[in-house]
Amino acid sequence: MMELIAAMALSAIVLAMAVPSFQTFIKNNRLETAAEDWVTSLNMARSEAMKRSTEVFLCRSTADNACSPSGTNNNWSEGWILYSTKQNTVVPDNHDFTAADDRLLTVGTSTPGEVTITSSTSGDTHISFEANGDRNADVAFGVTPPPVRFAVCDDRGEFRGKVITVTRTGQITVADADAGNTDMDCTPTEV
């Protein structure tokens, strides 16, 4: 009987130590998956733009067939849609998806639970890639636009996230958030 009680006590101690580690494992997995999904969507937008020789857009969306940004100005956590313009189509300034003029390529779903995706650009509702793979920055000729950064974070704070950077030339990089570098933490700043 004593052996059974000792075994149960030891099991309870081991279980008490394992549960927090397992919770951390689950949160890390959710964060990595959200970052990978977002990078996949960005890469798909860029490659589709080059393949189709036309501009391709990602826009914030809570619907499966419309750009419908809601919530915080630069929050991409509720989902997004990826669509292309038909070739030789003049793109309106608002870049909103219309079934008559655009092709819906894929729908990105909302991020799990406490994971958020926010961009460094205030009021950011769209990101697009041109036919040559460059990010469309809508700036004056000769002006080099800053990169756009996306922070993928959870409720554990700025040290646990991922920062995804998209340069003007369309290069996409992923880095761990680092509070020592203000450009690479989980609170994107206006650049």
Q: Output the furthest CA–CA distance in the chain (Å, rounded).
A: 83
CA dihedral of residues 21, 24, 26, 31 (deg, nearest 10): -160
Look at residue 158 in the predicted model and tell me its pLDDT: 65
Rounded CA-CA distance 67/51 in Å is 23
Q: What is the mean pLDDT of each run of 10 residues along the chain (191 residues)?
A: 74 66 84 92 94 88 77 78 74 63 84 82 80 79 75 79 89 78 52 39
Q: With beta carbons less than 8 A apart as the criterion, state whether 140 and 63 touch.
A: no
Beta bridge partners of 84: 56, 103
Region 37-184: CATH code: 3.55.40.10
- Check residue 190 and give its pLDDT: 44
Distance (Å, whole) CA 163 – CA 97: 27
Per-residue model confidence (pLDDT) at position 1: 74
Q: What is the pLDDT of residue 36?
A: 93
Cα distance between residue 187 and residue 151, in whole Å: 7
pLDDT computed for residue 140 by the predictor: 55
Looking at residue 188, its pLDDT comes to: 47
Residue 175's closest CA among 157, 154, 159, 191? 159
pTM of the model: 0.80
